[in-house]
A and B are shown apart, each in its own frame.
Chain A
Amino acid sequence: MLAYLITSILLAVLPLFVRSERATNIIAALFFMVQVAGIAALFHFDRMNDVLLSVFRADTMAVTFHILMTCVLGFTLIHSSSYLKADGISTRSYKAYYTILMLLAVAITCVYYSDNVALTWVFLEATTVCSAGIIYHREFRQSLEATWKYLFVCSTGIAIAYMGILLLSTVATEGSLDYASLKEAIVNGNPLYLKVAFLLIVVGYSCKMEIFPLYTVGIDANYAAPAPASAFISTALVNAGFVSIMRIYHLYSSTGEVFEWARHLLILIGILSLAVGAMFLRRTNNYKRFLSYSTVENMGIVCIGMGIGGLALWAAVFHVICHTFVKSSMFYHVGVMRHIYDSYSINRIGNYININKVGAIGIIVGTLILLAFPPSPLFISEVFIFSEIITVGSWWLLALMLVLMCVVIYAIWSRALRLNYHANQDTLHLSAVNRRLSYSASVLLIAAIILGVWQPEILKSAIDTIVNIG
């Protein structure tokens, strides 16, 4: 782990010392290979579930999400290169972008592997600092505003989460803050402290998972960052928030009445996130913000799944995994679209089907997958969540979800149709059309469809393990 970390960090800062963009690309490729090699080494040397450097643990959840992050990272690195070149930025900015992106990947990886509740917090705060650099990358007025809001709200949110961690650590025996020790000790904790701790931690981490109440900073961040970076933030970073909350969720699973309370809180947050997503998906006039609100909506569904538990918890994890493929692909497609129109404006751009057929088909298919239309993997996860809701008899929750999801379906589908078939009002920059990027973005959609049709045994058993860590 130490070798992996040192190599990754060194490679991440290396672009600052090279001269050309080509050298930066080579370093980025090496960085990607280090990620792959790191994962391969875990399996090859049979280090799964081992404690690494006393504070990291290569458990199934960490490795699964690291693999997902590496997949998205590969595509992000490729798409970023084209995106930045088309933007005509300076070599200095190009190198800075890759450095920050790679440092963000390292920080996110550390969040996944962290086996210590305080260290998870430390690395989540580190992701805030790295993300801020990416959000500000384009250096225009809105990106400055978005960066300030992101830094400020995330730092305040994370400070609140820290108070929750302090409250939670009152149960720690001999100062040990690793998740396994805390799980044993938590049964003796003060229930009121534990409830407040859970509330503070979830509220604080909500800025990372893009759920209610601090979801707004994620929306602004995705809006201001370059589209490939938005894909990374909306998936890998959101997953880091999910993993952090999931670990706390597992901690609480042995607390009886407190756990029941925590699950109700998650259902409430899920419903509110779903409602916010449904409301703003209709209102927004920017395709990147539109996709970000879709993330809020999907993470809301995930929270509801966690709150319901049982089969719905399994579905929630599956939903997050599939969402990673679909959402990143959609952001890459939108990035390609932006090359053509030089705009993300929903009201102005259209006729995409006649301008870039591959990209248009990708967006239609991606939209259908987002809407959980079979063979979408999200169809499976949502059906599982609904069936579990019916099993526990929460009919009101089912009805509320269905109503909100109808609004979501209408909003998403009408926007996809508008983009493809509505008359275009914007200036076109057709020289920038890069169909190879559209094809590559579609690879992730194909991966999602495959997961919708066939779930490999290894994935099913990985999710089983993640769900049953508690």
Chain B
Amino acid sequence: MTLSLIILYVLTLIYLSIADRFRNHTSILAIQGVLLFGIAMAHLHSFHPVEMGFIIVETLIFKAIVIPAILMHVIKKTKINRIHASSSQFGALVMSIGALAASCTITYNMADESANIIFFGVALYALLSGLILIVMRKRIFAHLVGFLVIENGVFLFSMAIGVEFPILINLAIMLDILVSILMLGTFLRRMDDDMHTDETDALTSIKD
């Protein structure tokens, strides 16, 4: 069960690297939220109502519903549709596969018996995928998606390591991330309104 979900999660990351419509990016993030919920539930060793509640809030509500809703709202308001026309899908796919290979190699050499090797490798792949999205894509919205992919990777990483923070700290972390995403979404819209741009190439008015 967990392995199937993890494989699906990897497939969403590969698809994300070649998807060109931002609506698809948002849908994939929502699917990732649901997959993370399944993975976290399958990973639970026993029934803890508080822990379960937290997982539902963080994955199903937060990652699968709230964040995609915010992103959809931004897409609707800014009318940004797809990634930059000059972006190479093939190049992105090659980079993504390369990142997957690199993640496997690093995991093989680094992870010890205390970590879940599969989770570890996929979390690393998610981190690299997010960074690739940020570096390869020119549209600011894609950067926001990249950041969220990294956040999902971090969530998976915490399961790989098997670290359980106190619930209050987990809540604070979740709240922090939610506020950051809300602010990023707000400023993205403002940039579209005030600067009439959604591309990073236009962000060059501050330099030495």
Interface segment among A128-136, A257-265, A398-406: the answer is A128-136
Contact partners of A223 in chain B: CB under 8 A:
206
C-alpha spacing A53/B191, complex, angstroms: 41
User: How far apart sit A153 and B116, CA to CA, in the bound complex (Å)?
Assistant: 29
Instruction: Give the distance to chain B from A299, nearest Cβ to Cβ, in Å.
Output: 18
Q: Which of A92-128 contact B (CB under 8 A)?
A: 116, 118-119, 121-122, 125-126, 128
A171 to B: closest C-beta gap in Å: 10
* Alpha-carbon distance A364/B165, docked complex (angstroms): 51
Interface status of A166 (Cβ within 8 A of chain B): yes
The answer to whether A166 and B187 touch across the interface, beta carbons within 8 angstroms, is: no
* A156 and B208 contact, CB distance less than 8 A: no
Q: Which one of A129, A169, A192, A289 lies within 8 Å of B163 (CB-CB)?
A: A169
CA distance A413 to B154 in the complex (A): 46
**Residue ID in chain B nearest A192 by CB atoms:** B110
In the complex the two chains form, what is the Cα distance from A220 to B191 in whole Å? Answer: 16
Is the CB–CB distance between A132 and B183 below 8 Å? yes
> Does B176 lie within 8 Å of A149, measured CB to CB?
no
**B150 and chain A: residue at smallest CB distance:** A159
For residue A176, which residue of chain B has the nearest CB?
B166
Bound complex: CA A167 to CA B127 (Å):
14
**Which residues of B sit under 8 angstroms from A159, Cβ to Cβ?**
147, 150-151, 154
Residues of B within 8 A of A181 (CB): none
- Which of B110-144 touch A at CB < 8 Å? 110, 112, 114-115, 127, 134, 140, 143-144
Is B1 positioned at the interface, with any CB of A under 8 Å from its CB? no
Contact with B along A261-301 (1 / 0, CB 8 A): 00000000000000000001001111001000000000000
Among B150, B166, B176: residue with most chain A CB under 10 A:
B176
Q: How far is the CA of A141 from the CA of B169 in the complex (A)?
A: 36
Question: Are B172 and A141 interface neighbours, CB within 8 A?
Answer: no
Interface string of B40-59 (1 = CB under 8 A from A): 00000000000000000000
On whether the beta carbons of A118 and B169 are closer than 8 Å, the reply is yes
Number of interface residues of B (CB under 8 A): 40
**A144 at interface (Cβ–Cβ under 8 A)?**
yes
A353 touches B (CB below 8 Å): no
B110 in contact with A148 (CB, 8 Å): no
B139-175 interface (Cβ within 8 A of A) = 140, 143-144, 147, 150-151, 154, 157-158, 161-166, 169, 172-173
A434 within 8 A of B: no
**0/1 string, B182-204, CB within 8 A of A gives 1:** 01100110110011000000010
Q: Is the CB of B169 within 8 A of A144?
A: no
Is A229 among interface residues, defined by CB-CB distance under 8 A? no
With CB as the reference atom, state the residue of chain B lying closest to A143. Answer: B206
Report the minimal beta-carbon distance from B108 to chain A, rounded to whole angstroms. 13
B179 CB-CB contact with A under 8 Å: yes
B105 at the interface (CB under 8 A from A): no
Q: Are A280 and B208 in contact (CB under 8 A)?
A: yes
- Tell me whether B205 is interfacial, beta carbon within 8 Å: yes
Given A151-B187, A283-B208, 16 other A-B residues pairs in contact with their CB atoms under 8 A: A125-B173, A128-B180, A129-B179, A129-B180, A132-B183, A141-B194, A142-B205, A148-B140, A148-B191, A151-B183, A152-B147, A162-B154, A175-B163, A190-B114, A196-B110, A224-B206
Identify 23 residue pairs between A and B in the complex whose beta-carbon atoms are under 8 Å apart, listed by A's number.
A132-B183, A132-B187, A141-B205, A142-B206, A144-B190, A144-B191, A144-B195, A145-B191, A145-B195, A148-B140, A151-B183, A152-B147, A155-B184, A156-B147, A166-B161, A166-B163, A167-B161, A170-B161, A172-B163, A175-B163, A175-B164, A193-B112, A283-B208
Closest 3 CB pairs of A and B: A125-B176, A284-B208, A122-B172
